[in-house]
Chains A and B, each alone.
Chain A
């Protein structure tokens, strides 16, 4: 074939492949739009349906009283409080330990083998069904440590359960901090902890907050592990009682389960679902705002 012939061949090949690519690109883009749209629609539908069924039953009476069979009253104030108590107590234990572990693994540990073993362990722990944590929590916190079925035992169980999430996400966040920042700080005469505190942790703040939000999500959504450990009581507890052993209490999710499954009161269940959505939303937004503050 002569030179002109080859050139023609290549030009037609280019035209062909460019048409092919454009078609392929358009199809793939369409599929991606479809996937994104489907996700959004599903999510919006679920939220919409929950609000549609639940909002009419969210009344001030529901939010501000405790349930009473005698007065035939349904109120979820104890459950709202219990949910908040458990979030706070669980995080108070899980955050320092989890972030501390991640910082140790990523910034201090020199024994690579040990690090890998711990990483494997945390990964395995994060995959265990929550009901098993409930069982272990019951044996350890409720019985062995004699906390009884209580908010405290439930919160500690959930602290253990969320540890792997916090460790993994914090570690991932720390890994995204460029080594050049660490070198820069150390080369100025900074000690290791000072470097971690002033440069590494602020840089990793976004990822750490994501981990915290995920953990809160798991805590709020947990019911199986709490059935064994925190119980199903619906009394209003003050914060002091919440951290004292022997005071049981049902969270919103547990009470949702009770109302829907045991008592067939679906209207109450949907109203609780609305409250759960709102609480999660508020916590997420404030965690992100706090992260922005902390970074400055």
Chain B
């Protein structure tokens, strides 16, 4: 299996706090990889290094390599990197503009301004995110009027509009009700046919339900990384077992 993202001895410090320690991981293409672990274990931090969102935080020092299809992400243009590695956040964050303008935001950055082309991108992105039927009649109204679950799927559509190779989800269903969550899970299973998906989740059932691979983080270390089935049935590390059986965390 080809790997899309590879990290080599990745270390990260927030000031003096050593938040990620020697992370070595190969993320396979067109699969869902779940990152689990207790709060503060570094899984979100790890996710945010993959599209260099940690660059925005002061006092962060990163050491080691992250390769996107063999290419060092630190030698890439950061804006290009982020259009190749898209991110959906914990809280849905549609811009206070119309549904259409939200989706067209990314393509416009890339210099696509023709109405016909944008119309097409908006439609396909919304369809891919399974939200076209719900908002085709209200493309010109504010995105802020939608429900939380719809907003989150809109944000997924917005990310898909720039055709990323990798989709990062940072606890993107944790603020949603079970129905909206299951809609997004179905959507992710559909999307993995085309995209590589890496998701941070606090919900272990969710990881077990949809992830192909699962990585368990603890105190900044990658403890175990394997097929989801293996992690949840025969974890090889005691700490993984303690965590997934709910003995701590």
B58, B91, B158: the one within 8 Å of A188 (CB): B158
In the bound assembly, the distance between CA atoms of A186 and B82 in angstroms comes to 8
Option from B51, B81, B91, B110 in Cβ contact (under 8 Å) with A180: B91
Task: Give the dominant DSSP class at A's interface.
Answer: helix
Question: Is the beta-carbon distance between A191 and B105 smaller than 8 angstroms?
Answer: no
Contacts of A4 in B (CB 8 A): none
Question: CB < 8 Å: which of B51, B89, B96, B110 contacts A203?
Answer: B96
Among candidates B87, B105, B159, residue contacting A198 with C-beta atoms closer than 8 Å: B105
Is B162 interfacial (CB 8 A cutoff)? Answer: yes
Residues of A141-178 at the interface with B, using a CB-CB cut-off of 8 Å, are 178
Give Cα A191 to B77, complex, Å: 10
State which of A110, A183, A184, A190 has its C-beta within 8 Å of the C-beta of B79.
Answer: A190
Whether, in the assembled complex, B56 has its beta carbon less than 8 Å from a beta carbon of chain A, the answer is yes
Q: Are the C-beta atoms of A188 and B82 separated by less than 8 Å?
A: yes
> Using an 8 Å CB-CB cutoff, how does the interface string of A101-118 with B read, 1 for contact, 0 for none?
000000000100000000
Chain B min CB distance to A140 (Å):
38
A189 and B110 in contact (CB under 8 A), knowing A183-B53, A184-B155, A198-B105? yes
Interface size band for A = 10 to 19
Residues of A within 8 A of B56 (CB): 183, 186
Judge whether A188 and B89 touch: CB under 8 Å: no
**Separation in Å of the A173 CB from the closest CB of chain B?**
14
Residues of B within 8 A of A186 (CB): 53, 56, 82
Q: Is the CB of B79 within 8 A of A185?
A: no
A-B contact count (CB 8 A): 60
Interface residue? A34 (CB, 8 A): no
- Chain A 177-202 residues near chain B, CB threshold 8 A: 178, 180-181, 183-191, 194, 198-199, 202
CB distance from A189 to the nearest CB of B (A): 3
Assuming the contacts A187-B86, A188-B105, A198-B105, asked whether A110 and B58 have C-beta atoms less than 8 A apart, the reply is yes
**Known contacts A110-B58, A181-B95; A187/B87 CB under 8 A:** yes
Decide yes or no: A184 and B110 within 8 Å by CB, A189-B79, A189-B80, A189-B162 being known contacts: no
B93 touches A188 (CB 8 A): no
Nearest to B58 among chain A residues (CB) is: A110
Q: A181 near B93 (CB under 8 angstroms)?
A: yes
Known contacts A188-B86, A188-B162: does B79 contact A180 (CB below 8 Å)? no
Whether A184 pairs with B109 at a CB distance below 8 angstroms is: no
In the bound complex, CA of A188 to CA of B106 (Å): 6
Among A181, A183, A189, A194, contact of B83 (Cβ-Cβ < 8 Å): A189
Within 140-165 of B, Cβ neighbours of A (below 8 Å) are at 155, 158-159, 162
Q: How far, in angstroms, from A181 to B93 measured CA to CA in the complex?
A: 6
A55 to B155, CA, bound (A): 57
Query: In the bound complex, how far is the Cα of B96 from the Cα of A134, in angstroms?
Result: 43
Residue contact B93 to A180, C-beta cutoff 8 Å? yes
- Contact check, B93 vs A189: say whether CB atoms are below 8 A apart: no
Q: Which residues of B contact A190 (CB under 8 A)?
A: 79, 105-106, 109
| Chain B residues with CB below 8 A from A183, complex form | 53, 56, 89, 93
Q: Can you name 16 A-B pairs with beta carbons within 8 Å?
A: A180-B93, A181-B96, A183-B56, A183-B89, A184-B89, A184-B95, A184-B155, A184-B158, A185-B95, A186-B82, A187-B53, A187-B87, A187-B89, A189-B80, A189-B110, A190-B105
Residues of A near any B CB (own CB < 8 A): 110, 178, 180-181, 183-191, 194, 198-199, 202-203
